[in-house]
Amino acid sequence: MYDAPKLNLKKSMAEFEHGKTCTPGGVLGIRRPYNFVEGEYPIYFDHGKGGRITDIDGNEYLDYLCAYGPIIIGHREEEIDNAAIDQMRNKGFCFSLTQPIQNQLAVKLKNLIKCAEMTVFVKTGSDATTLATRVARGYTGRNKIMRCGYHGWHDWCVEVKGGVPAKLYEDVYEFHYNHLEQLEDLMKQHGDQTAAIIVTPIGHPLAEQVEYPKPGFLEGVRALADKYGAVLIFDEIRSGFRVHIGGAQTLFGVTPDLSTFGKAMANGYPIGACVGKAQFMKKIEKEVFISSTFFPNSLEFAAALKTIEMLERDKVLDVVKAKGEWFNAELGKILAKHKVSTGASPVPQMPFVTFNKDEAKTYKAKRVDFYTQLIRRKVFLQPYHHGYICYRHTDEDLKYTLKAIDESLSFVDEKKY
């Protein structure tokens, strides 16, 4: 199989050098080049439309990272953008007091999400998960948190500990997804001091396969929270408004006490939400403090209401699931015919090709070569993070992507390691 030609990324690389003079590292966090394949992936985008994005050198890609999840319908959706523009022009969006549109969105979530008797809106997923743990601590009077999954960059959960005093996370304990026995052991030791168990209802560990819950896992987590009087929190930042309109809690039939949403809820507009049963959420009235200049800004509320309207009207999540199921079935056939040992995400809305570890430890080099070939073929996926299928990805887009994956794996097959 031929080695696809390297992309022209001259403008991106020049802009990156400039960026490093005014922003630490040029760009932040998971967007830094070492999280892709350095020298092969663009660093700056210029614009996007539908399921495609274009970098500042003019290279156009099929976008399967979807801004790490917020884009559920497509880039630059006119109905959603017009809803935000109308709010801006006709009402305004940043005031000393709250606009009633906040209540409209809260009622909408209450009607869709089983645990969402009350809602507090924030800006990011990290805001939402941190608020949820604060509510749990305020409600129980306890300190310890049992966690499973990625919950953001705030002190209690950030995985890179630089600049964070140990005392700020010493009461946080980690257990692994689908390993209920680990949580059972932790609760035996700390159950009477545990304020909350927070878990992603669909597992998505970095660089590894996305996982559905094993039979009884979420039910077991629910039972342990009840047994020890802890608050159960579902982190649905990724799964919410993607796997089901009511979240994974509806899909799997397990209802938490609190839950967090964001990303796909407003198709890219910055909004997060901590929702939950009234008995817990009412602690925010007086005993648990939260305030922000920008949390009540209404552009995001207008965008979210329109996004949810489109999700329901156009049966967007059914379409995305069907596309993903077809894609996964075809992908399985492709992976099976190649020599290189790979795996694929079972969750149809979140495609991901991973490379199985081998004794010679060649899987890392194979992964780099595969994703190098894929980006050169104008398919934008991340080597260490699952992707997303959005509504605007066409059947032709998916077929082209499968062809690019097939060709990229053939390149890996034929190379000696």
Q: How many domains does the chain have?
A: 2
The token duo for 304 is 């979210």
Tell me the Ramachandran region of residue 152: left when phi exceeds 0, alpha when psi lies from -120 to 50, beta otherwise: left
Are 245 and 104 in the same domain? yes
Q: Is the pTM of this model over 0.75?
A: yes
- Residue 261 falls inside a structural domain: yes
Sign, CA torsion 95/97/99/104? positive
Q: What secondary structure does DSSP assign to 57-73, as a single string?
A: TS-EEEESSGGGTT-SS
**How many Cβ atoms from other residues are within 10 Å of residue 166's Cβ?**
7
Residues 61 and 95 in one domain: no
CA atoms within 13 A on the CB side of 270: 9
Cα separation, 113 vs 248, in Å, equals 10
| pLDDT tens for the chain, residues 1 to 417 | 779 999 999 999 999 999 999 999 999 999 999 999 999 999 999 999 999 999 999 999 999 999 999 999 999 999 999 999 999 999 999 999 999 999 999 999 999 999 999 999 999 999 999 999 999 999 999 999 999 999 999 999 999 999 999 999 999 999 999 999 999 999 999 999 999 999 999 999 989 999 999 999 999 999 999 999 999 999 999 999 999 999 999 999 999 999 999 999 999 999 999 999 999 999 999 999 999 999 999 999 999 999 999 999 999 999 999 999 999 999 999 999 999 999 999 999 999 999 999 999 999 999 999 999 999 999 999 999 999 999 999 999 999 999 999 999 999 999 999
Residue 5 is assigned to a structural domain of this protein: no
Give the pairing type, strands 118-122 and 272-276.
antiparallel
Same domain flag for 64 and 121: no
Same domain, 136 and 224: yes
Does residue 171 share a domain with residue 94?
yes
Domain boundary among 292, 313, 334: 313
**What CA–CA distances, in Å, run from 33 to 45, 149, 225?**
13, 23, 40
Structural domain includes residue 3: no
28 and 105 housed in the same domain: no
CATH number of the domain where residue 232 is located: 3.40.640.10
Q: Among 278, 313, 348, which residue terminates a domain?
A: 313
CATH for 39: 3.90.1150.10
Residue 294 inside a domain? The answer is yes
Question: Does 181 share its domain with 196?
Answer: yes
Is 2 a member of any domain? no
Do 155 and 272 reside in the same domain of the chain?
Answer: yes
Pick the last residue of a domain from 286, 313, 340.
313
DSSP string, 106-162: HHHHHHH-TT-SEEEEESSHHHHHHHHHHHHHHHH---EEEEES---SSTTT-SS-T
DSSP 3-state of 385: strand
pLDDT value, residue 281: 98
Q: Which domain, by its residues, includes 279?
A: 78-313
Residue 39: inside a domain: yes
Distance of alpha carbon 341 from alpha carbon 204, whole angstroms: 20
| Separation of alpha carbons 28 and 30, rounded Å | 7
Kindly state whether residues 36 and 103 are assigned to the same domain.
no
Closest to 389 (Cα-Cα) out of 356, 345, 335, 354:
345
306 and 345 inside one domain: no
Do 218 and 261 sit in the same domain of this protein?
yes
Asked if 123 and 265 sit in the same domain, the reply is: yes
